[in-house]
Structure 1
Amino acid sequence: MCPTASNKNNLTQTYQNIGETFQNIFDEIGKVIVGQKNTVEQIIIAILCDGHALVESNPGLGKTLTISTIAKITELDFSRIQCTPDLMPADITGTHIIEESDGKKMFKFEQGPVFANIVLADEVNRASPKTQSALLESMQEKQVTVGNDTYKLDRPFFVLATQNPIEMEGTYPLPEAQLDRFMFKILVDYPTFDDELNIVNRYTTAETPQVNRIIDKNTLLELQKLSREVPISEELKTRVIKIVMTTRQWGEHIEYGASPRASIGLILASKARALIHGRNYVSHEDIETMAYPILRHRIILTFESERRGVSKDQVIKKILENVK
């Protein structure tokens, strides 16, 4: 067997082994989280892409439990921020406090909850725009500036922000430019009858299941690098760009389309999805699956489409069917 063929087989085996590792991760998460396979997969893909996710769902669907479980199996620091209208930027980033030592007073920086590897910002649309901006700065720059001092955040750094589609009174919806900072918008639906029966049985008859660590922080950072190295054909790159550009040209349904950030995100997400499925190539299925969470918060429908009850996912589906 020629060396080239041998190297190719070794590479294929490496990706298959990585796929098995991620299957172990999903199995471990499954000890705590019932169903929600797509939600869990998309959150892990966002982490692999070094991106952030916005989750929209009704209360009580396990968002906090899901993200804290992922933190446990990856041995990452986890913090939760409950966003309220009176939450101040310093409550997120931290602040300087006066500390006395040897009879001298000095300022010491007390880190806020944003100094973690995984941050859950619950009901982010209830925080004021000023507080939202403080969180979004850390998401974009991976650092926090307090006064004249700048503090780097530990890597990996991932923000999962949630918002409730009901009870919109007294909220501050994220502007479109800030929504674009999130790689994904994930929609979480209610569980099926069988899943809910399983949830009831699991959490009313026994103690909460415990999970084991599967990978450490350094391994996750290496997987982030490896996900970017998954090959993608020029044909698929072209299709991704055509999909995104169609959102800017389809005046029948879309008022404003997606930015080039969507093209970058869709390619990265497709690569990460291929990696967690143990493949060393990107497929059309990867692109079509990832197009929904990538695009649904980056397009604005026309008034006529909204009046007729057309959803963003329906528009994305039509675009995927037209752009082959």
Structure 2
Amino acid sequence: MTPRESILELQKRMGQSIIGQEAVIERLLLALLCGGNVLLEGLPGLAKTRAVKSLAKNLECDYRRIQFTPDLLPADVTGSEIYYDKGGQGEFVFQPGPVFGNLILADEINRAPAKVQSSLLEAMEEHHVTVAGKTHKLPELFMVLATQNPIEQEGTYPLPEAQRDRFLIHVMVRYSSDEDERKIMQLVRSEDGSGGSSGTPPAVIPQQAVFDARKEIHAVAVAESVEKYMVAIIAATRRPEGFGKDLARWITVGASPRGTLALDRMSRALAWFRGKDHVTPDDVRAVALDCLRHRVLLSYEAQADAKSADDVLSQLIKQVAVA
């Protein structure tokens, strides 16, 4: 299979076990192709963890799950040096933590304190971990997928804006339709009846398919006018006063340069995913909310007016013209 056929096959397999969340599946695959990290947010029971596990099940990878809790320590994530005594000759040996895998599920990341959350920062940004003055490289295929719930915030530790900025995209997982809900019920019923087994599973998609796809995505063309359009969207979040008094009141801090890079990477991946060799403004708009909703800081006035980041960004993007 070609790299694109392999990724589409991966999408198909995930869709068989995740009902009604096609957009979430697509965003996970796009982030995988971009080599970025994902923040998944949604109410309990909306298949956030199941989607990540389905991706790991069908892809050749080392999957690790970390349950974030208030008593978790940074060493529980990164690993630590352990003293071994061999015949009177003692030495410290590094014991890798669960972060040394390919797909890392940071489940309920906002339930651990800041020092534990920050233990992921170096891994997410630099793809290596430093313990006791020694740097340890992470695998070439490395991706952090963090989940958090928008409710039950008592006793949680909200992610700082600077840390949220490290995530390539912020995906909102929403309720499925009523018909999809019925299909979910039927799917789980069939899994329970078969004991979770349905014969020999197909061969997993090799990691090389992801690496080959990334090379093809790198060759996707971006016209100068589309580049200017991406920059114009980011600039609008920083200078919203040019797009109306309401937007100027609602936005306190605009998107960082990582927002521009996220738009570029995600729009190229989406264009490739759809079988195109160039990026269009429609591709940029399709990924804009996922790339920017966690990078824009809203004011108290926006909250008072019941405006979410998606509301504000959607209104802003509509007014930004293509160069």
TM-score using structure 2 length: 0.91
1:222 and 2:212 matched: yes
1:46 counterpart letter in structure 2: A
Aligned AA (1:314): D
Once residues 95 and 225 of structure 1 are traced to their aligned partners in structure 2, the CA distance between those partners, rounded to angstroms, is 35
Q: Aligned residue for 2:221?
A: 231
SS of residue paired to 2:135: strand
- Aligned counterpart in structure 2 of residue 304 of structure 1, from 301, 305, 316: 301
Report SS of the residue matched to 1:119. strand
Q: Residue 43 of structure 2: SS of its match in structure 1?
A: coil
Shift of 1:131: 0.8
CA contact (8 A) 1:24 1:214 kept: no
In the alignment, structure 1 residue 194 sits paired with structure 2 residue 179: yes
The Cα of 1:108 is off from its aligned counterpart by 1.8
Does the 8 Å CA contact 2:3/2:209 hold for their aligned counterparts?
Answer: no
2:119 is matched with which residue?
134
Listed as ranges, the matches of 1:74-113 within 5 Å are 74-101=59-86, 104-113=89-98
Q: 1:155 aligns with which of 140, 157, 175?
A: 140
- Structure 2 unaligned spans of 5+: 241-247
Question: How far apart are 1:198 and its partner, in Å?
Answer: 0.9
Deviations 1:237-258 (A, max 9, x none): 1111000100011123211100
- In the other structure, the counterpart of 1:73 is 58
| 1:48 to partner: Cα distance | 1.0
Per-residue CA shift, 1:94-113, capped at 9, x if unaligned?
A: 11223344564432211110
- 1:114-159 deviations in whole A, cap 9, x for unaligned? 0000000011111111111111111111011110211000011100
Percent identical pairs in the alignment equals: 39
CA contact under 8 A between 2:58 and 2:205: conserved in structure 1? yes
Q: Which of 252, 261, 264 does residue 261 from structure 2 map onto?
A: 264
Q: Residues 213 and 230 from structure 1, CA distance in 2 versus in 1: closer, same or farther, beyond 3 angstroms?
A: farther
- Aligned equivalent of 2:243: none
How far 1:277 moved relative to its partner? 1.5
Among 29, 43, 61, the residue aligned to 2:14? 29
* 1:114-133 to 2 correspondences below 5 Å: 114-133=99-118
Counterpart CA distance in 1 for 2:43 and 2:154 is 15
Question: 2 CA distance for matches of 1:249 and 1:219?
Answer: 41
Q: Counterparts of 1:99 and 1:267 in 2: how far apart (Å)?
A: 48
Checking the alignment, whether the CA contact within 8 Å between 1:93 and 1:112 is kept in structure 2 is yes
Tell me what 2:33 maps to.
48
Is the contact between residue 11 and residue 29 of structure 2 (CA under 8 Å) also seen in structure 1? no
Query: Structure 1: how far apart are the matches of 2:281 and 2:75?
Result: 44
Q: Number of residue pairs matched? A: 309
Whichever residue aligns with residue 303 of structure 1, its letter is Y
Deviations 1:69-117 (A, max 9, x none): 2122221110000001110000000112233445644322111100000
Distance in 2, matches of 1:277 and 1:100, equals 57
- State the alpha-carbon separation in 2 of the partners of residues 306 and 209 from structure 1: 47
Which shows bigger deviation, 205-214 or 136-145? 205-214
1:245 corresponds to 2:230: no
What amino acid is the match of 2:220?
A: V
CA distance in 2, matches of 1:133, 1:106: 28
Question: How big is the shift at 1:18?
Answer: 4.6
Contact 2:230 2:260 (C-alpha < 8 Å) held by counterparts: yes
- In 1, the alpha carbon distance for the partners of 2:123 and 2:309 equals 29
CA distance in 2, matches of 1:169, 1:223: 42
Contact 1:296 1:312 in 2 (8 A): yes
